[in-house]
Structure 1
């Protein structure tokens, strides 16, 4: 039981860390959503590396939690966590259960925010694709004949034949 209590204390610390990281991720997803709503996609360059770093930290903490569950004799998934909590009805485990539920709640919130941001990104991509299609089809010209690969117009003004006022 001493090993179980030690592992429970370590699990508590890991889950506390996971909650902190997930809260940071949730805040960042809120920022990302605002950038997407405000159509300031250039700001995504600052958000994306931070999001990737937080996601890497979440994965690392999840891996550590899984290893600790296995070390405690439980499966390294949500069922193993449930079994651990059910098998040890101590004050320390009740605190762990509350912390675990907090992690599940914040993770669910982050997942929903990420899903919403994905929808916003797809909406922007569809708008951009529609704009590109319009530019490429160009008012009666053959598709793609309006602009070259360098972004410059392929349509050349009639040299020497300008409008003469007078």
Structure 2
């Protein structure tokens, strides 16, 4: 699948090993949550980046003790109707303080790109290469938002309140 980051197609440098395979040395790994949790202590000494593929039916708080050893977190969307990964993304960004790359993977649809960005995702596993052009178009189509979210941009209310505080007026 094409990988979009900041509106551009990028090469996915992470290798996803099969559950029974030995972990290759010297390459960035994207490891399923179950295996990561079993081997977390052994993975601390790796010289290459380690990322985790976290399912949306598992409590995101379980990952908190390991955030310092991760280079990327990928959250799964098994179905476009299943939005639990949005909640996980916001919890990671807003409550657990995750500042590293956050990838949306699985059933990632064009219509949901802007919502994924607003929830705090930086990377999207897209279905098609031309999704990158749509992504850039979608990102540029909105300049203000009503809802506060995990992407760090202030809502229109916060922006307005900041203007009032700075100038002492609403005009």
Give the TM-score, by structure 2 length: 0.25
Report which of the two has the higher share of helix.
Answer: 1
Q: Higher RCO, 1 or 2 (CA under 8 Å, sep at least 6)?
A: 1
Which structure has the bigger radius of gyration? 1
